Structure 1
Amino acid sequence: MSHASLPATVWDRPDPHTLVVTVQPEHIDLMQHTNNVVYLQWLEDVAWAHSTHLGLGPDRYTALGHGMVVRQHELNYLQATRLGDEIVLGTWLVGIDKLSLHRQYQFVRASDGVTVFRGRTHFVCVEIESGRVRRMLPEFFAAYSAAVREVAPDGVKS
């Protein structure tokens, strides 16, 4: 099955932002599977792709003098991936407040629809020049909150 034909039921949440990668020789480690640090790079790649899609790419961060930086990652390696595997990287924004953004990830092997990885990232907003945590700019909050895919029972985006 190709990434285009992955059934919606393979995803943990509806409508992920996706990016497709293929495991390359340089991704393979001594154990003959994708090295764990490659997954971390893929997190960054799909997160930037999604953020850019929302109008907040690196150039916009620079122009606004603010950006979102990682406070914490949670990485769960579920299945090995091997040379030549096509992996569909999926991500969603699942929570937001005045300082923080929460993103989830699910990586699915296109050939069989098996989830090979899940992760979460907690981002905080910082002023680029000082590196200090700052309240999220209205432009950031508007773009990111509109993309949040989970609403708490009280109706507040959490």
Structure 2
Amino acid sequence: MQLNWDIDQPFTLDIRVEADDIDELGHANNAVYVRWLERCAWQHSISLGLGLEQYRELDRAMAVVRHEIDYLAAAYAGEELCMGTWIISWDSKLRMTRHFQLLRKSDGVTLLRARTTFACIEMSSGKPKRMPSLFVEGYGKGLSLQEQI
């Protein structure tokens, strides 16, 4: 099935809903969706050459300051999903925003849309700090083509 993404050319992460993801209501728990958002963002960062090793070397990290999540439909055990993410805005100094979309592969239904705002911090102090040039270059490559036009 063709997946209908909100924005072209997402970074994608395949997800299988496991039994441990299911809550008392019989569907994936809301907290599990947040873990999937985090996993997708990390994998995208790593693909841009910005993993934990680089964060530690530079004493910088992109930390979540805000999540906005719209839960649109439930996910159930055994389902195959695909999470897409795009960097949709950034100031190349301190802040960056990602958009996420979670689709069920079997029918293409969008289960979730989210936006997460990150701020660059100094890992050793937790204080906001300007993005180092490696972040500017790496995350700049991840900026959605829509934003680059």
Name the TM tier (shorter chain).
over 0.9
The answer as to 2:115 corresponding to 1:110 is no
Match of 1:58 among 39, 52, 56: 52
| Higher RCO (C-alpha 8 Å, min separation 6) | 2
Tell me if 1:134 matches 2:142.
no
Name the SS for the 2:147 alignment partner: coil
How many residue pairs match? The answer is: 147
In structure 1, what is the Cα distance between the partners aligned to 2:44 and 2:147?
A: 19
Give me the whole-angstrom Cα distance separating, in 2, the residues matched to 1:11 and 1:103.
14
Output the CA distance in 1 between the equivalents of 2:61 and 2:46: 12
Does residue 119 of structure 1 match 2:135?
no
Identity of aligned residues (%): 42
Give, in whole Å, the separation in 2 of the partners of 1:37 and 1:101. Answer: 22
Q: CA deviation at 1:31?
A: 0.7
* Distance in 2 (alpha carbons) for counterparts of 1:135 and 1:23: 37
CA shift for structure 1 position 146? 2.2
Structure 1 SS opposite 2:121: strand
Normalised by the size of structure 1, how large is the TM-score?
Answer: 0.90
Deviation at 1:147?
A: 1.7
Given residue 151 of structure 1, which amino acid in structure 2 is its aligned partner? E
Q: Which residue of 1 aligns with 2:88?
A: 94
Q: Give the drift of 1:151.
A: 2.5
CA RMSD for the aligned pairs? Answer: 1.2
What is the alpha-carbon distance in structure 1 between the residues aligned to residue 13 and residue 147 of structure 2?
24
State the SS of the aligned residue for 2:43: helix
Which sections of structure 1, spanning at least 5 residues, go unmatched? none
Partners of 2:131 and 2:40 in 1: how far apart?
21
State whether structure 2 residue 73 is matched by structure 1 residue 79. Answer: yes
Please, which runs of 5 or more residues in structure 2 have no aligned partner? none
1:143 corresponds in structure 2 to 138
Contact 2:48 2:141 in 1 (8 A): no
**For each residue in 1:99-121, what CA deviation from the matched residue of structure 2 results, as whole angstroms up to 9, or x when unmatched?**
00110100000000110000000
Instruction: Report which stretch shifted further, 140-149 or 90-99.
Output: 140-149
C-alpha separation between the residues in 1 aligned to 2:129 and 2:68? Answer: 23
CA deviations on 1:9-49 (whole Å, 9 max, x unpaired) are x0000010001111111000111000000000000000000
> TM-score by structure 2 length?
0.95
